[in-house]
Amino acid sequence: MKILGIDPGYGITGFGLIEGQRGQFQLLRCGAITTPAGMDFSARLEMIYEDMRRLLEVTKPDVVAIEELFFGQNVTTGIGVAQSRGVILLAIRQAGLEVYSYKPMQVKQAVVGYGNATKHQVMDMTKRLLRLQSAPKPDDAADAVAIALCHGRASTSLLAQIQNP
């Protein structure tokens, strides 16, 4: 199964494509969709949408896993990220793919085994689980790979098999 993980953003949207078979995963590719800071916001959203459509066409994932939004201190930034996530979800929907959403704590739990793990711990375990020399770059891509791993590990768990016979 090919899983595309997405870490949504409007400046940088990370992506990570992994392939899983019998609980073993390998990284196929990762990177980021970027938009210029000075560009009109609606044009940035259009760029994210078009780049996501092309990414889905090129990578041909079986499913997509995307991070749910967490509104911390800066609600204004959160609204922009939510709009970016919306155009990403539209592109996924139009591609006819299933999409699964995971909270940051679920990603940490699935990858590290501890829901309050640090970003460094998640990156280190991602590197170990995929047998990589170093963590994926940029950080947004590393986060997206962790999101893909979260889905891969959740979808192959015994609980998922019981719930989806």
Single out the residue of 101, 1, 7 nearest to residue 52, CA to CA. Answer: 7
Dihedral sign for Cα 132, 134, 139, 141, please: negative
Band of residue 78 on the pLDDT scale cut at 50, 70, 90: confident
Calculate mean pLDDT across residues 115-131. 93
Find the domain containing 29 and state its range: 2-163
pLDDT(159) > 60: no
pLDDT(94) > 70: yes
pLDDT(98) > 70: yes
CATH number, domain with residue 126: 3.30.420.10
pLDDT of residue 79: 87
Calculate mean pLDDT across residues 69-73. 67
Q: Are the CB atoms for 4 and 20 separated by under 8 Å?
A: no
Q: Are the CB atoms for 136 and 16 separated by under 8 Å?
A: yes
Q: CB-based contacts of 138: which residues, under 8 Å, 6+ apart?
A: 12, 14, 32
Instruction: Give me the chain's average pLDDT, please.
Output: 90
Calculate mean pLDDT across residues 10-20. 96
Structurally, the chain folds into a number of domains equal to: 1
Band of residue 69 on the pLDDT scale cut at 50, 70, 90: confident
Band of residue 21 on the pLDDT scale cut at 50, 70, 90: confident
Single out the residue of 128, 98, 135, 131 nearest to residue 111, CA to CA. Answer: 128
pLDDT tens string 44-53:
999 999 999 9
Q: CB-based contacts of 36: which residues, under 8 Å, 6+ apart?
A: 44
User: Which residues carry out catalysis?
Assistant: 7, 67, 140
Query: What's the rounded Cα separation, in Å, for the pair 70 and 78?
Result: 8
Dihedral sign for Cα 91, 95, 96, 101, please: negative
Band of residue 77 on the pLDDT scale cut at 50, 70, 90: confident
- pTM for the predicted model, two decimal places: 0.90
The end-to-end CA distance of the chain, in Å, is 17
Calculate mean pLDDT across residues 151-156. 83
Q: Are the CB atoms for 152 and 1 separated by under 8 Å?
A: yes
Band of residue 155 on the pLDDT scale cut at 50, 70, 90: confident
